[in-house]
């Protein structure tokens, strides 16, 4: 992974340049041992410390060679800081054992017991350098290689720090290693909220989690049932309910409990009716460990992409079925959306939204035209007129479908384009928002507004159908005196396709989150509609393979 090239040379060059030059006992001998270990490893298939293969087999030797094999970790406080930093990787949802933690702790304990052994210091130095390098890269780019899990992933890796020399000049000489590693964590509020959520749910797990609520009939306000007490206890654990009722009848489903259920449903992207039905009960009975796993998975996803955003951008959460505009870390626009079904998944990518079209036409993709439209034409050539569609030859001429024998054509022989004309029944609705991409995916209106009443909204062929279309248009144009419903209705009445460039094009990110957090550390969970979480979790839980850092 080429990103792992950056950290050792830059980070530890700064460390050596600004070090306070305290040294290990018998420092010259320690340098000689480091050199011997590196040269032996290069000649015998890899550098190892007591059977532990180091990860950075290319850059670590180069780093020590460039600095005459001098040890980098000569200061006791810096060693302790780095040890604490590696332990804290657990709080980032990572695995401290990936970073030689057990062996480092063993050697430091031996050193603390006044065992003056240059080989111990050499081993510790190599382990610290390797561990710090790998951990820094995992924070900057993630442990899991997302493109290896999903070939459709099309978001570039985080760029290296723009001023690495400046960033990594927070050196051991000033004992600021914790500040350095904090600075390379994602600074986005969602990552910070997920991290707090991980601590919270681990604490819940440590206290025994929550009991399973028995199945039964749906429960709602005004009912009395023994299971109501269990529901109260369950919602109190996660803070959706603040306290038990003052009255003696805790089995009574009162207004306060209904509000708590609605709050829970809000966090789980369910219809907020306050009724504990089948779906709500199923979410309440998800084990706490599953929540912990989901938080870790989404912290990893955040490390892939959340290091640098413009102050103003659009983001679609596929799993959450929503689109938001975030300006200066505040949500200034929100809309439910419909995304691709399981076998027509909406791809993950980023682009820049540059224009919109009112009264759009829809050019039916070839795959849909041959697989879905052509069979209908073979049965009924009048299907096109019914759907306000036209058929066009390769010269751009509109043809009369009544004069075509569609039985002569197949999915491998269909020399036509099918286009749906503007109108309220157009598949794209009344407006579409364009951001160039190789997938031909865009955000658009839909005549099927009733589908937005579904909790799980993966119905499309991959494009993103938007509920609050005009609100988004006016929000992005930000000229209420010009771009209002009077102006929009005037264009609609013309029935002409009208393209308008945004005065300020805006970045749009199509992501996949099954857990999230807001600025108040409220934690949200969404369904894993594309079954992606397990692959990320399995990769997170596997021991790191050193060969990937070369």
397-415 pLDDT per residue, tens: 999 998 899 999 998 999 9
Within this chain, do residues 143 and 97 fall inside the same structural domain, yes or no? yes
Within this chain, do residues 138 and 278 fall inside the same structural domain, yes or no? no
Strand partners, 525: 515
Residue that wins the pLDDT comparison between 68 and 466: 466
- Is 515 contained in some domain? yes
* Percentage of the chain modeled with pLDDT above 70: 90
Strand partners, 330: 327
d(CA 258, CA 511): 32
Contact 302, 315 (CB under 8 A): no
Residue 233's domain comprises 213-284
- Is 540 contained in some domain? no
Tell me the torsion sign for CA atoms 281, 287, 292, 296: negative
| Amino acid 546: pLDDT | 53
- Is 303 contained in some domain? no
Contact 55, 549 (CB under 8 A): yes
Within this chain, do residues 225 and 369 fall inside the same structural domain, yes or no? no
Within this chain, do residues 249 and 357 fall inside the same structural domain, yes or no? no
Distances (CA, A) of 515 to 100, 300, 330, 486, 522: 30, 11, 18, 39, 11
Q: How far is CA 102 from the centre of its chain?
A: 30
Task: Please report which confidence band the pLDDT of residue 535 belongs to, taking 50, 70 and 90 as the band edges.
Answer: very high
Least Cα distance to 521 among 190, 93, 185 occurs for 190
How do 443-444 and 464-466 pair as beta strands? Answer: parallel
- Is 511 contained in some domain? yes
156-212 pLDDT per residue, tens: 777 776 555 444 445 667 888 898 899 889 988 999 999 999 999 999 999 999 999
Q: What would the two tokens of residue 490 be? A: 């005037």
Task: Please report which confidence band the pLDDT of residue 279 belongs to, taking 50, 70 and 90 as the band edges.
Answer: very high
Domain total of the chain: 3
Within this chain, do residues 114 and 165 fall inside the same structural domain, yes or no? yes
* Percentage of the chain modeled with pLDDT above 90: 70
* CB within 8 Å of 118: residues ≥ 6 apart: 24, 25, 26, 29, 30, 33
Q: Would the pLDDT of 62 be above 50?
A: yes
Phi-psi region of 21 (alpha: psi -120 to 50; beta: other; left: phi over 0): left
| Amino acid 26: pLDDT | 60
| Amino acid 20: pLDDT | 45
Within this chain, do residues 341 and 235 fall inside the same structural domain, yes or no? no
Q: Would the pLDDT of 448 be above 50?
A: yes
359-386 pLDDT per residue, tens: 999 999 898 999 999 999 999 988 999 9
Within this chain, do residues 260 and 375 fall inside the same structural domain, yes or no? no
- Is 21 contained in some domain? yes
Within this chain, do residues 252 and 332 fall inside the same structural domain, yes or no? no
Within this chain, do residues 420 and 361 fall inside the same structural domain, yes or no? yes
Task: Please report which confidence band the pLDDT of residue 147 belongs to, taking 50, 70 and 90 as the band edges.
Answer: low
Write down the pTM of the prediction.
0.88
Distances (CA, A) of 43 to 9, 38, 39, 69, 123: 22, 9, 6, 17, 18
d(CA 100, CA 109): 14
Q: How far is CA 310 from the centre of its chain?
A: 17
- Is 46 contained in some domain? yes
d(CA 22, CA 549): 30
pLDDT, averaged across the chain: 89
Q: Would the pLDDT of 251 be above 80?
A: yes
């Amino acid at each position: 992974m080429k990103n792992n090239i950056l950290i050792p040379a830059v980070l530890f060059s700064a460390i050596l340049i600004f070090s306070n030059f305290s040294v290990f006992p018998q420092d010259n001998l320690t340098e000689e041992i480091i050199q011997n270990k590196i040269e032996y490893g290069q000649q015998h298939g890899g550098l190892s410390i007591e059977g532990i293969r180091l990860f950075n087999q290319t850059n670590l030797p180069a780093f020590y060679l460039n600095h005459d094999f001098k040890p980098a970790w000569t200061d006791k406080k810096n060693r302790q800081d780095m040890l604490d930093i590696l332990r804290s990787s657990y709080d980032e949802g990572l695995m401290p054992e990936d970073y030689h933690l057990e062996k480092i702790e063993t050697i430091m304990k031996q050193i603390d017991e006044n065992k003056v052994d240059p080989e111990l210091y050499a081993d510790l130095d190599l382990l610290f350098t390797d561990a710090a390098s790998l951990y820094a890269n995992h924070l900057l780019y993630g442990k899991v290689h997302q493109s290896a899990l999903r070939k459709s992933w099309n978001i570039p890796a985080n760029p290296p720090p723009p001023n690495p020399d400046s960033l990594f000049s927070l050196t051991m000489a000033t004992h600021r290693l914790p500040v350095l590693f904090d600075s390379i964590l994602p600074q986005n509020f969602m990552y910070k909220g997920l991290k707090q959520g991980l601590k919270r749910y681990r604490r819940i797990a440590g206290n025994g989690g929550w009991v399973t609520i028995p199945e039964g009939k749906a429960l709602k306000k005004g009912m009395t049932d023994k299971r109501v007490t269990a529901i109260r206890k369950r919602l109190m654990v996660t803070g959706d309910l603040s306290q038990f009722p003052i009255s003696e009848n805790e089995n009574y489903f009162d207004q306060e409990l209904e509000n708590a259920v609605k709050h829970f449903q809000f966090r789980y992207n369910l219809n907020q009716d306050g009724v504990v039905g089948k779906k709500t009960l199923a979410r309440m009975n998800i084990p706490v460990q599953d929540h912990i796993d989901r938080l870790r998975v989404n912290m990893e996803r955040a490390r892939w992409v959340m290091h640098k955003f413009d102050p103003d951008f659009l983001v679609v959460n596929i799993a959450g079925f929503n689109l938001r505009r975030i300006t200066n870390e505040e949500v200034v626009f929100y809309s439910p959306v419909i995304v691709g079904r399981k076998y027509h998944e909406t791809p993950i990518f980023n682009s820049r939204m540059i224009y919109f079209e009112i009264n759009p036409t829809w050019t039916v993709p070839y795959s849909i035209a041959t697989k879905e439209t052509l069979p209908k034409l073979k049965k009924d050539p009048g299907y096109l007129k019914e759907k306000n569609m036209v058929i066009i030859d390769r010269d751009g001429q509109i043809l009369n479908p009544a004069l075509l024998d569609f039985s002569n054509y197949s999915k491998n022989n269909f020399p036509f384009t099918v286009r749906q004309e503007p109108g309220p029944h157009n598949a794209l609705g009344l407006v579409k928002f364009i951001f160039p991409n190789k997938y031909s995916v865009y955000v658009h209106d839909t005549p099927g507004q009733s589908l937005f009443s579904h909790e799980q909204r993966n119905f499309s062929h991959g494009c993103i159908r938007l509920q609050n279309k005009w609100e988004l248009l006016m929000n992005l144009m930000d000229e209420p005196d010009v771009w209002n419903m009077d102006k929009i209705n005037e264009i609609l009445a013309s029935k002409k396709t009208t393209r308008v460039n945004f005065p300020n094009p805006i970045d749009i990110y199509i992501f996949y989150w099954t857990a999230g957090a807001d600025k108040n550390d409220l934690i949200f969970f969404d369904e894993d509609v594309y079954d992606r979480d397990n692959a990320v979790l399995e990769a997170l839980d596997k021991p790191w393979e050193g060969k990937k850092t070369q």
